[in-house]
Structure 1
């Protein structure tokens, strides 16, 4: 049996996912947010869990990962996709490789396009897609090694899973929490009815504003978030 929680950061509309083995109480977090460190520690403590791994779907441009501080203060291992090239990570996981934590096994799926290092994770009937597929949307391709061509291919790869496969994205800005492959194939305006040429044209025409925190988030996340980024002076480990 497993424990699963979906957590949400209102400031950046970021989802963090908790998966744990119910028997051993070992846990992992996908895409924690630095400012939500206290919340994440409180959830782990309330459930009696020991954090073993922090997994990143990519080097984020909109928030600083909480993985650095969590690793520093819990001895969890920091895992990111091989394409990130992060020398600070404990493990760079490649396409098709698995991470096993007691009864929990996740498969890494390289899904570049939003960034070079984007990695989705499959756990049983669920895909954690980061910014590759969002609900009724997809990640941007206009910064940080973005490539609409590669993103299209990555999206198609994820859409090859059975239609009932659940999709848990890295963000949502409209109050939605979960989707599935069949739903995204049918109604996502960046997917339904678009071939690669039309998708690339649509992405190139978006003309979106620069992410507000990119100049802070990308350097910090290139160092796996560090251990003390943004910590309030005098704050204790258990805060």
Structure 2
């Protein structure tokens, strides 16, 4: 058996445990004889992850659930295989059900033709849906479900005491998950999700990519300011809510103002 390397009591991040990056962050939360996984990553690493879990002396039959934080291929491509190997139910937000069950390669970013991204997206049956305010239990631990849309409309986060499994909301450098209208991104919703995190009393953020970090309100404030600017920038196309220049031009046209 391998020695366990929890990043916090009852929490193992499997990339950190393995000492190498295998994909997105995969969190194993355990208590007593139960455990669950938050995301799984790519299909090619699923068997390696399951074998690592076995070698950490977690009985595979005691996996309570597999959770999809949202319907992105880099988080859930291996979910169907993990479900078959672990014989555990899959949980996701209702808005993630259709792309996951249909294996929608466009919505999940498995296919982005201009960037030569062309990956399989195995469909997976969602056994249960979870929504904002629900509580997930594992052993005696409780995880409060937060819906934190913005990156996608189905992005889930999970609060456990002073810890938040924060998904693709924000990373240690202040970056956020990709913003793309086709992907279901929504900048005003993103801002509200970040403000919810900022105004909470959680102390640690456990993101879906990159290192765990202590919540820094100044960092979040700077990110919110940047995203607020995106609302009025044509750069962001249909994700922007308006373009002030066009409003100015409309007034100029109405006034018959000539170029200066």
TM-score when scaled to structure 1? Answer: 0.72
Structure showing greater Rg: 2
Structure 1: how far apart are the matches of 2:28 and 2:221?
29
The aligned residue for residue 137 of structure 1 is: 175
Which residues of structure 1 form unaligned runs of 5+? 208-239
Contact 1:137 1:188 in 2 (8 A): no
8 A contact 1:79–1:89 mirrored in 2: yes
The residue aligned with 2:229 is: 198
Q: Report the CA distance shift for 1:103/1:48 in structure 2 as closer, same or farther (over 3 A).
A: same
Sort the Cα spacing of 1:5 and 1:11 in 2 relative to 1 into closer, same or farther, 3 A. closer
3-state SS, counterpart of residue 231 of structure 2: helix
Alignment equivalent of 1:155, drawn from 194, 205, 216: 194
- Offset at 1:105? 1.5
Counterpart in the other structure of 1:6: 13
Please state whether the residue corresponding to 1:99 is helix, strand or coil: strand
Please name the residue that 1:211 is paired with.
none
Higher helix fraction (1 or 2): 2
Match of 1:108 in 2: 145
Report if aligned partners of 1:121, 1:127 keep a CA contact under 8 Å in 2. Answer: yes
Q: 1:186 aligned to 2:195?
A: no
In 2, Cα distance between the equivalents of 1:178 and 1:27? 20
**Aligned in 2, Cα 1:41/1:75: closer, same or farther, shift over 3 Å?**
same
Listed as ranges, the gaps of 5+ residues in structure 2 are 1-7, 102-124, 238-260
Distance 1:67 1:20, change over 3 A: same
Does the CA contact (< 8 Å) of 1:81 and 1:93 recur in 2? yes
| Mapped partners of 1:119, 1:63: distance in 2 | 12
- Number of matched pairs: 195
Relative contact order, higher structure (CA 8 A, sep 6+): 1
Shift of 1:42: 2.0
Task: Give the TM-score normalised by the residue count of structure 2.
Answer: 0.67
Do the aligned partners of residues 156 and 199 (structure 1) sit closer, same or farther apart at CA in structure 2, a change above 3 Å counting? farther
